[in-house]
Amino acid sequence: MTQAEGLLRIACAISLLLSFELAAVSSSDKPCENSTLLSQAFDLARNVSDLQQRDYLISEIATARLQGGDIEGAASTAMTLQQESYRQLFFEDGALKLAVSGKFAVARPLLSKIPGDHQRTLEEIAVLQAQSGDVDGALKAAESLGPGARYRILNAKAEGELDRGDLKAALATASSLRLPDDEFLWELAYAQAKAGNLQAARQAGMRIQDAGMKSDIPRQIVRGYSDAGDFAAALQVATKLSPDLRRRVLCEIAEAQLKAGNKQAAQNTFSEAIRLALRIRNVGARGNSLGQIAKSQLGSGVEPTALQEMRKLAEDPAYKPNLSSLAAAEREYGNLENAEKLYLKSEEWGGAALVETERGDVARALEAAQKSSANPANVSYTISQMAVVRARHSDYSSALALLPKIRIQGKDFEESYLADSLRKIVRGKAKEGGASEAIKWVNEQASAYARSDGLIGIAEGILESCSPKK
């Protein structure tokens, strides 16, 4: 196909799009219809000249078909991928996604559509089937996969029994294995602690081979006690941990106390974590630790004492390189005025631009964005994020007005900034029921890459709006 023919084909697809889609998305008897959208996106994607971009788009279209339940359509779309790595990745990931949703009867046939050794993926599907409760079905499907698959399935069975609190059955299943794997032992330590068996929990931990998992056993024990509501025991175990691990564990205990409705106890536990954080000599590390605690306190209803301590650090000259972290925390807490001041003080113009965008002052945000970098591509990235922020607030007019300010100077990644932000904007609009209007926005884009990505976004939005109705 010549370039002229390709452009003509795109033009035809665009001209037909409204007549096809306005009927499809407004149909009351087919509220979840998106197949025509995806077909049009596919026509556009096939005419994108860059191989990486084309295969990325086609892979996304195939994934959207799969999510909509069109398994055959997804497979036929994926078979047009020109790069073998993309094809393999789609079919293997697609089969796993189907298995995760419990569709084992179609997961394996999908995988069989492409040649190759899929031992590892088939094992994962069998394990997922066992985790769903169908151990016999998993064992039967894995008969040709060798002893390794059987071993993993039985481990999954034992872990499921642990999750149900049936320690006796889990230990019986594990005893049929010569050596239970580390993941089972790690879960066993948690279950034993939750049942109040501290010594048994420690013994399970001692049998773990992986050094990283073994070092995390004290944390598992604390989790077990916390989930059982035995906070006194959890706090007692925490006292024997290193200061760094203890701070993290105390936050987890406080979160469990909040779930149990004990707000005052949680506040006290957070206070102990903050006390340990304040002992850290390095001001940057101290701020990072307080920031982690502040995230745990966010939305909990307790007094934001960690954030208050972070604010005190702002006066320390040694903390200036970390002011953007404090600004980010203020932004997460909704303190946009404080966040903006800190971003400006640290000359973090990109952050200031996003805060101004959150506040609705797009003109001022653009001024900050222009200062964020001498590299136009970096400025374009910031503007693309600003557009997404306004779309999250359903301010689509401001979001769309920002798109032409994303400069594309022959760089693939710059075009991807436009495509990605457009996709998120129209997905939100379609999810709200405005797919017809979103289609018009997509048609206004000069980039075939952006138009194709935009159509995928509309299809995704329709799927998301329909999912509660299923």
**In a domain? residue 199:** no
Residue 142 amino acid letter: A
Report DSSP letters for 149-185, one per residue.
HHHHHHHHHHHHHHHTT-HHHHHHHHHTSSS--HHHH
Give a yes or no: residue 322 inside a domain: yes
**Which pLDDT tens digit goes with each residue over 187-227?**
888 888 888 787 888 888 888 888 888 888 888 888 888 98
Query: What is the spatial distance between Cα 352 and Cα 228, in angstroms, rounded to a whole number?
Result: 44
Residues 6+ apart with CB under 8 A from 466: 31, 32
Tens digits of per-residue pLDDT, 301-349? Answer: 899 999 999 999 988 888 888 898 999 999 999 999 999 999 988 889 9
Comparing CA positions, the residue from 463, 391, 466 lying closest to residue 429 is 391
**Domain assignment of residue 452, yes or no:** no
Residue 298 lies in a domain: yes
Residue that wins the pLDDT comparison between 358 and 142? 358
Cα–Cα nearest to 221, from 242, 200, 207, 247: 200
d(CA 154, CA 180): 9
**Domain-embedded: residue 108:** no
Alpha carbon of residue 277 to chain centroid: 29
Q: What is the 3-state secondary structure (H, E, C) of 265-326?
A: HHHHHHHHHHHHHCCCCCHHHHHHHHHHHHHHHCCCCCCCHHHHHHHHHCCCHHHHHHHHHH
Look at residue 257 and tell me if it is in a domain: yes
User: What residue numbers bound the domain in which 302 lies?
Assistant: 242-347
We report the CATH number of the domain holding residue 310 as 1.25.40
In a domain, 281, yes or no: yes
SS (H, E, C) 96-124: HHHHHCCCHHHHHHHHCCCCCCCHHHHHH
For residue 295, is pLDDT > 80?
yes
The total number of structural domains that make up the chain: 1
For residue 144, the tally of other CB atoms under 10 A from its CB is: 8
Length of the chain: 470
pLDDT at 412: 60
Flag whether 280 is in a domain. Answer: yes
What is the Cα Rg of the chain in Å?
27
Task: Tell which wins on pLDDT, 465 or 360.
Answer: 360
Amino acid at 282: N
